Amino acid sequence: MNIVLLGAPGSGKGTQASLITEKYGLPHISTGDMFRENIREKTPLGVLAQSYIDKGQLVPDDVTVKMVAERLSRDDCKKGFLLDGFPRTLSQAQALEKIVKVTCVLDIDVPLEKLLGRLTGRRCCEKCGESFHVSVIGNTEICPKCGGRLYTRADDNEATVQSRLDVYVSQTASLIDYYKEKGVLRRVNGDAPVNEVFAEAEKAMGI
Ligand code: AMP
């Protein structure tokens, strides 16, 4: 299972990625999480990535591809992996093809007009990394799953979200057709409760 999760920011990639990787014992490779870890640790990569992430822009392809290539070369990826948030450009998809064979690409489809509200109302847990929506959990600062502290991602403010959505439309959405032509694309309706999306995803991927 060499899986890629496509989908716009706020489509629920992270949530579905966690469910799939927990159930099937795959490494969950989220480029956004890798950048945020580097930002927390104040590495040179983190400093560079932050300047793009804060503006809602993509980190340059060469830097991102190098980081992913290193991660995929580790032993835990030999039996499969799930990429969450990579590739996001055609050039990243072409680079990935030279590293490994992707067996399944799952696109989580959510109408664009719903994404802004999903992202600006998102709260993430510092401890377990899970995310929730204020319309479901209310104004609590405590994670309903693990009791950790909830926070709002710096790039989930309205202005940055708008540029992230613009970047998705202009640079990432075309990957749907790219993978459709390769015959590996599966699509699920992401505008549904988490467990329903998960059930549909398992069915679509034939796992
Ligand atoms: P995410 O957590 O997937 O929403 O990613 C947060 C931010 O990290 C994005 O808005 C980009 O700035 C950066 N990022 C994540 N993945 C990539 C990627 N594949 N290519 C370039 N930038 C990325």
CA–CA gap between residue 167 and residue 32 (Å, rounded): 15
Structure tokens given for 167: 């970047």
Active site members: 13, 88, 122, 153, 164
CA–CA gap between residue 66 and residue 63 (Å, rounded): 5
Given the CA of residue 52, which atom of ligand 1 is nearest to it? 12
Q: How many CB atoms lie within 10 A of CB 118?
A: 21
pLDDT, residue 56, reads 97
Structure tokens given for 204: 């679509």
pLDDT, residue 207, reads 85
Ligand 1, pocket-test mutation among 5, 11, 53, 92, most atoms within 8 A of CB = 53
* pTM of the shown model: 0.95
CA–CA gap between residue 122 and residue 11 (Å, rounded): 11
Ranges of each domain in the chain: 2-26+79-111+155-205
Which amino acid residue places its CA nearest to atom 19 of ligand 1? 86
Pocket (CB within 6 angstroms of ligand 1):
9, 31-32, 35, 52-53, 56-59, 64, 85-86, 88, 92, 155, 164
146 Cα distance to chain centroid:
21
In sequence order, the 6+-apart residues with CB closer than 8 A to the CB of 115 are: 8, 9, 10, 11, 161, 165
pLDDT, residue 46, reads 98
Q: Which CATH superfamily is domain 2-26+79-111+155-205 in?
A: P-loop containing nucleotide triphosphate hydrolases (3.40.50.300)
In this prediction, the residues of the chain whose per-residue pLDDT falls under 70 are none
